[in-house]
Amino acid sequence: MLLRSLTLDNFGVYRGSQTVRFSTARNHPITLIGGKNGTGKTSILDSIPLCLYGSRARRILNGSSYPEYLNSMVHHGESTASVSLEFDRNEEGRKVRYVVERAWNRTTQGKSTDRLYVSTDDQARPDLVAVWPEFVERVMPIAVSDLTVFDGEKIESLADPASSAEILRTSLYGLLGLDLVDRLRSDLHGFRRRTAKAHNAHLAPQLAEKLARAEKQLTQARSEADLAVQALGDAESARADLQAQLHKATDKLARAGGDLLARRDELHRRLAEANASTITAERELIQLAAGDLPLTLVPNLLKQVAAAGEQREVSHLARQMRSEMALRDDRVTGLLAAALGFGQKETELARNVLRTDLESIEQPAKPAFSPSLECTEAARSLLNHRSGELQEGAKRLARQVEDLNSEAEHLEGVLAAVPDADSIEPSVQQLANTEAEFRAAEKSVDRAKVDLGGAERRAEQAQRQLDAVAHEMLDAGAEEKNTARVAREVAAADEVLAEFAQRMVRKHLGRITNEIDIALATLLHKQKLMSGVAISPEDLTITLLNPQQESVDTRRLSAGERQLMATAVLWGLSRSTGMALPTVIDTPVGRLDRSHRKNLIQRYFPNASRQVVLLSTDEEIVGDHLHLLRPHIGVEQSLDFDDADGSTAVMMGYFDE
């Protein structure tokens, strides 16, 4: 299924015909639609299930009846409204273009009835209209629509361990078709109660009265649970609004320099450290300059000193050798005279011959100057390795001084921009007030969850009591064979259905868990804390696992990490459907921790499905996040709200980009 366009005619805040275009490019799968709060993003999100499922789209009704909902969605001052969805679907190897439209009129009674129109390839299809509820289940089953068309509250709810199991159960049962089993079991229980009342009221009036009281208690408990659900929804909505206000107040304070004021002492400390480090590095550089470093600039002179030193050593050795040879010649002359009986004349002649020979040996040239041995060794050391070491050390210190000076200059500039406390006091106070209201809203949500849990437990207890009374009535009238048979068969069927649901969950849970693990690994790239999840087949609670396959306490996770895990669960469930369905998300990162938004921008949105539609406020996908996402965007649009007439128009382009 590939969305092409959505046309809203006098629907909600949209006056006249307004068309949203969707990107169908494979390399640019994202359609980005920008709109401030109250400009009609939710209307776009709701119109898709409305168009496909009509009165079965319970998620959009918020407790009102379908006719009342339709009547309320006609734009003020208008009498008719419609929504039309155009999409492509591959059938038997070819692409088929579908247009599904629902239209209705405003009525004075406040209740409207829609009219459904379906066409394929520009041909009207009344045959499809007649069987549309069954046919649309092959296009996008209503049980999986919540996995592909949802808002940020879905992620926030899944991130809460207290409510994630029930949400997962609803999604998983819908994915596996087990919601039908639940309805069938509920119908069986109702049939058993009706049978008990019809056949046994006259036999056991006290039991009949007991059954009536149990039914009344169940009705009251369910009513309380419905009210608790509504209260939780209201509390979560209020919290979401305050969270958006908190982000806005934080950004406002940051723009006013409040974060700089909070970091002023730290900035002064860093500046002092940079200046001290600069002084230390400069001193080391001066010490190098006062030592042998300047000599590395005159390598030719060093070579001359080394050469002169070598010549001096050679000349010294030559003189020593000549002296030793002269002494040897005197000894040889004396030995010759004694051995051969030389007289004085012959002895002197032999001495002259040896002297002449010694003097004929060439003497090494004397150096132009005679450096000392220590000076020669120092020159050789500089030439061989110390020169490179000294120069590298000097370069390192010079770079260090330059970097420290740059850092100090930057810190001085930042400190110069730090505002005084009085100028931002209003922004600080506004942030403090909003934070206090947000904490109070979080407590309200927690209380609403506790109340809802209590109401649901009371409803379950009332249901069990009612079933017990019905079973007791059937047993009381067991002498009637038909009643006894109903009791046995209903109980047996209920057990079979429960066992069937359990086996179906166990059969598919491994594949679904694997898809969630893949999604989790993609979102939390190189994450050492989390490696996967385990889902209990009994109560569908989610357990986070570390690389050693040990459970991880979710209390150790940040809010952003829990929200990324919830996104992975939704993504994994969506992948488990095996269907090429679009993903449509309202306020995609508004409720996510800012430090984790980048993960979704880079890893989730471009890969969530073949086609992704993002409905963003002007404080979500902007700046660097928009820059990261833009290579994957095929269509950009914005919702332009006119305060004068209270209507929204769909414009090309994203927030005047």
- Boundary residue ending a domain (448, 476, 504): 476
Instruction: Name the domain boundary from 400, 418, 436.
Output: 418
**Which pLDDT value is given to residue 487?**
64
- Output the CA–CA distances (angstroms, integers) from residue 346 to 46, 80, 336, 615, 619, in the order listed: 135, 149, 10, 124, 119
For the chain, what is the domain count? 2
* Sheet of 532-535, strands arranged across: 532-535, 542-545, 551-552
The one-letter amino acid at 347: T
User: Do residues 414 and 274 both lie within one domain?
Assistant: yes
Place of tokens 């200059």: 409
pLDDT digits (tens, 9 = 90+) for 317-334: 878 888 888 888 888 888
Same domain, 387 and 412: yes
User: Residue 323: inside a domain, yes or no?
Assistant: yes
Query: Whose CA is closest to 164, among 152, 177, 155?
Result: 155
pLDDT value at position 128?
Answer: 94
Domain presence at residue 35: no
Query: Does residue 405 share a domain with residue 433?
Result: no
In this structure, is residue 490 part of a structural domain?
no
Q: Secondary structure of the chain: what % helix, strand, coil (to 5)? A: 65, 15, 20
Model-wide pTM > 0.75: no
Is residue 333 domain-shared with residue 252, that is, in the same domain? no
Using CA atoms in the order 592, 596, 600, 601, what is the torsion angle rounded to 10 degrees?
110
Stretches where the chain sits below pLDDT 50 are 201, 478-479
* Same domain (yes/no): 386, 321: yes
Rg (CA), the chain: 44
Q: Which domain holds residue 219?
A: 204-257+424-476
Given this model, what pLDDT does residue 270 score? 86
For 31, 85, 120, 541, the CA distances from 96, given in Å and listed in that order, are: 22, 14, 7, 41
Last residue of a domain, one of 459, 476, 493: 476
- Regarding whether 332 and 377 lie in a shared domain, the answer is yes
Residue 315: which H helix or E strand, with range?
A: helix 299-340
Q: DSSP for 227-283?
A: HHHHHHHHHHHHHHHHHHHHHHHHHHHHHTTHHHHHTHHHHHHHHHHHHHHHHHHHH
The helix/strand/coil state of 20 is strand
Alpha helices, DSSP H only, in 56-119?
Answer: 66-72
For residue 528, the model assigns a pLDDT of 63
Residues 338 and 435 in one domain: no
pLDDT digits (tens, 9 = 90+) for 168-190: 677 777 667 666 677 777 777 76
Residue-level pLDDT at 629: 92
pLDDT in the model for residue 449: 77
319 located within any domain: yes
Closest CA to 141 of 615, 586, 577: 577
Beta carbons of 152 and 585 less than 8 angstroms apart: yes
